[in-house]
Amino acid sequence: MVDEIKSTVAAFSAFSKDKVNLCRKAAAKLSEQALWSKFIRHYEAAYDLALQHAIKRVSDKNTTRAPQVCDL
């Protein structure tokens, strides 16, 4: 991993000024796609789905289990 980072830094340092600017613009554009504000709705939907499944599991567990000694 360290060698890969070293190679990437070395290659980047050899880029022309124009290529560096092009890479910076591409990185900025890519980073905009990964903003939390764009992911939050997907996170909330996944969290809601997981919560619904957990509630169903607990509900199913409570309705299908045999009575325990301490339940009598």
When comparing pLDDT for 1 and 70, which is higher? 1
Q: Is 31 exposed, middle or buried (0-12, 13-18, 19+ CB in 10 A)?
A: exposed
Domain ranges across the chain: 1-33, 35-64
Whether residue 71 has pLDDT greater than 60: no
Is the pTM here over 0.75, yes or no? no
Tens digit of each residue's pLDDT (9 = 90 or more) over 1-48: 899 999 999 999 999 999 999 999 999 999 988 888 888 999 999 999
Whole-number pLDDT of residue 24: 95
